[in-house]
Amino acid sequence: MKKLLSVLLAVILCFGTHFVVANAENEAIVISAKGGTAAIGDTITVPISLDVNKGFDNLGLSVKYDPKVLEIVCKNHVDGKRCTGKRAPSITKKQSFRVGNSDELVSSNKAVNSEFHDVIPYNIQWAYVINEDILETGEIASITFRVKENATLGKTSINVEIDQANSESFGRYSQSNLRGSSITIDVNCLNHKFGNWNRTKNPTCTEKGIETRACSICKKEETRDVEALGHKMPKWSVTKEPTCTEEGIKQGNCTACGVKNAEEKIPAKGHSFGKAVVTKEATCINEGILSRKCTVCNIIEKTVIPKGSHKQQNPIVTLEPTCTEEGIMQGKCTVCGKKNAEEKIPAKGHSFGKAVITKEATATEKGIKTSTCTVCGEKKQEEIPPTAPLFEDPKEPTESESKNESESQTITVITDNKDSGDTVIIFLLVSLIVVGLAATVISVIKIKKLK
């Protein structure tokens, strides 16, 4: 029994390990693409990406699409007739990849669209030149499709399949380890080509009609209303007369639809006013009234006349301005006699005459000159500077004063030095050297004289 359990456990472990390995191998290389929406005649670029990559040195893709709906275009395929350049997609990853020519990679039994020389399926192959695995993921290529002019509207599929993949580490992957992608392009009609309007419902006397037109490409329909014809009444009978402000009513028998006593409204006539008359004069402080009367209903319409502005004439000065204080003046309306608000008159300012010296300046004291305002008599004084010179000539110092000053400066210089002790020693040494040199020179001179 124990041996049987051991065998069963081993089998379960083997199957479990194989299942994990198989799942891991099934995620060896996964390709994805992105779809979208395009109109007839437009182009759409489909990016192709590596989502899972356990490493490869050679990878081949097969792109299958409906040639009745889509065609592959490239930079040189601009005239919509023939592609004169390579139809290989742009590579956005390593430059060491080599892109194979699709015409060389497919066999003769593949479907070929002779008009555009497009090979279906469109095959792409990458080979890494160095003997090692490429492990990158992300976008590896993009293919641009154009929607054909005669394409059927609706959804069309693009399948990106992995034909083969080799790895330096694992050798050739089995097909179960490779997963491609299927995307959808929604083809619509953005630039409609509508035909003529066709009447699908005729209008009546009281109801609107309908006209329809369709796009010759996608068959989409548009509709618009046709205005009602209205009743055809050879003779009307007015049952209610219109007034200045209210509508009237008329009745009749329609000769088109046969309706009896059909009613229609008669628009209001509106007022008919006579000449406007001033019924209240406007004054400086009160508004006036302008009135006019309707000749039909006698209603009176009133319009306000704005009140007039105050008219000031010959303003009177009630307070004269002075040199330093403002004055006041006030006017009076010539129409209603009402006094206006007071207005200020600016002060005139002083008018000083010629200055007169009221105190003479001396050599040591300042003088004063005075000016008097010719209007109010206010005085203004200004100073006169002294007559003596500001500076005197310096006296020559005596011999004793010069000596004392020199000694004081010497002492000050020595005293002010921070290292006064060292300075004194240096000064004494220099003095001794000078004295010694002087004595030597004197001795030499005396010896020469003796000789």
Q: Which residues contact 297 (CB under 8 A, 6 or more apart)?
A: 243, 244, 245, 271
Q: Which residue has the tokens 């000789």?
A: 451
- Exposure of 123 by Cβ count < 10 A (0-12 exposed, 13-18 middle, 19+ buried)? buried
Q: Mapping DSSP to helix (H, G, I), strand (E, B) and coil, where does residue 108 land?
A: coil
Kindly state the helix (H) or strand (E) to which residue 115 belongs, with its residue range.
Answer: none
Kindly state the helix (H) or strand (E) to which residue 63 belongs, with its residue range.
Answer: strand 58-64
Q: Mapping DSSP to helix (H, G, I), strand (E, B) and coil, where does residue 105 land?
A: helix
Inter-axis angle of helices 399-416 and 420-450, nearest 10: 130
Contact of 363 with 388, CB cutoff 8 Å: yes
Q: Mapping DSSP to helix (H, G, I), strand (E, B) and coil, where does residue 347 land?
A: coil
pLDDT tens per residue across all 451 residues of the chain: 444 444 444 444 444 433 333 444 567 889 898 889 888 888 888 888 889 999 888 888 888 999 899 988 764 444 444 444 444 443 333 333 333 333 332 222 233 333 334 557 777 777 665 677 888 888 877 788 888 888 888 899 999 999 888 888 888 999 899 999 999 999 887 777 888 999 999 999 889 999 999 888 777 889 999 999 888 877 888 989 999 999 999 888 888 887 877 788 899 999 999 999 999 988 877 889 999 999 999 999 999 988 876 755 667 888 889 999 999 888 777 667 777 767 888 998 888 888 888 888 898 888 999 999 988 888 888 998 998 755 455 555 555 555 555 544 443 444 444 455 566 677 778 778 877 787 776 776 766 665 5
Query: 333: which strand partners?
Result: 312
Q: Which residues contact 381 (CB under 8 A, 6 or more apart)?
A: 358, 368, 369, 370, 371
Q: Mapping DSSP to helix (H, G, I), strand (E, B) and coil, where does residue 8 land?
A: helix
Q: Residue 422 phi/psi, 5° resolution?
A: -65, -35
Q: Where are the domains of the chain?
A: 24-188, 192-230, 237-266, 312-345, 350-388
> Strands (DSSP E) along 294-347, which ranges?
300-305, 312-319, 327-333, 343-345
- Report how far residue 409's alpha carbon sits from residue 401's, in angstroms, rounded to the nearest whole number: 12
CATH code of the domain occupying 24-188: 2.60.40.680
Amino acid at 416: D
Q: Which residues contact 190 (CB under 8 A, 6 or more apart)?
A: 39, 40, 42
